[in-house]
Amino acid sequence: MSSDKGADRPAGPALQCDRVVAGYGDAPVVREVSLTAAPGRVLCVVGPNGAGKSTLLRALLGLVRVRQGTVTLGGKDVTNKPLEELARSGIGYVPQGEDVFDTLRVTENLDMGGFILSRAERQARMDAVLDIFPALRRLTRRYAGTLSGGERKMVALARVLMSDPDVLLLDEPTAGLAAELTRMVLEEQVRLLAGLGKAVLLVEQKAEAALSVADDAAVLVNGQIALTGTGAEVLANEDVGEIFLGGAGRGKGWMQSMWAGSAGSAGTDGTVHSTGIA
């Protein structure tokens, strides 16, 4: 896989945060974080449990108040803007876990993703999204709750594409998935989003798998950026093992242990029913 996976893509707006401080109550969780998610590239944020990864995403989305610093989209200040306004500005979000409506059919899930569009626009956009994810065409009448883990994730990503966002924020899209489905979601679906020219900010606990598909990467520890570089550079960095495991293991071995620890036991649909790492 090329080290410049996002080359020659259409230029869209970048999402940037500059020295962002955010948290709950009086205690900051995210401290002085600066990052850029560029169009046509995957920016992966990894870090140990409790590092502040999901809080960072929620701060970018206006769900946790940014106390200091700024968030900009294409140079426009969107700090602490409501989620609906951000959606209309071109930001899409796939949360961890409850990312589809189980009691709705696939087409109805996609319809929900196009809530800011007119009926005619929604139908045209649905056709375009199904062209992007052709495997969903045979599933359109199925209820989301009857789908496998990988199929559900495809529906979640397709739904967020209904509004044709410029930037996508993905919170642990492989949570609960076994290794084979994890690779499929990251290597096929997430890379596809960047291939469409989207700026993708990916937060992941399965560090080795995520870094292997990332163009750019940052390691978050105790709410602060501890390391940045390309995905390959961070993946190869010996110090990353110490950041995660306090020096227990060097090189790729720590990542394999961490990934195995999150694997749990997989069911017949590839969904993990017991995970060691959230």
Query: What does residue 10 show for φ and ψ, rounded to 5 degrees?
Result: -60, 140
Give 256's DSSP letter. Answer: H
The pair of structure tokens assigned to 69 is: 């610093």
Higher pLDDT, 242 or 35: 35
* pLDDT recorded at residue 11: 56
* pLDDT recorded at residue 9: 40
* pLDDT recorded at residue 241: 67
Q: CA distances (Å), 27 to each of 23, 59, 67, 275, in order? A: 6, 14, 11, 29
- Does 239 have pLDDT greater than 80? no
- Does 250 have pLDDT greater than 80? no
Report which of 90, 195, 210, 112 is spatially closest to residue 156, judged by C-alpha positions. Answer: 112
Mean of the per-residue pLDDT values of the chain: 82
Q: What is the pLDDT of residues 60-110, one digit of tens each?
A: 999 999 999 999 999 999 999 999 899 889 999 998 877 789 999 999 999
* pLDDT recorded at residue 12: 67
What's the rounded mean pLDDT across residues 221-231? 93
- Does 14 have pLDDT greater than 50? yes
Report which of 188, 209, 81, 185 is spatially closest to residue 217, judged by C-alpha positions. Answer: 209
Alpha helix ranges (H) inside the chain: 53-60, 83-89, 106-113, 119-132, 149-161, 179-184, 191-195, 207-211, 231-236, 239-245, 253-263
- Does 265 have pLDDT greater than 50? no
Cβ atoms < 10 Å from Cβ of 207: 24
Q: What is the pLDDT of residues 193-215, one digit of tens each?
A: 999 999 999 999 888 899 999 99
Percent of the chain at pLDDT > 70 equals 82
* pLDDT recorded at residue 153: 87
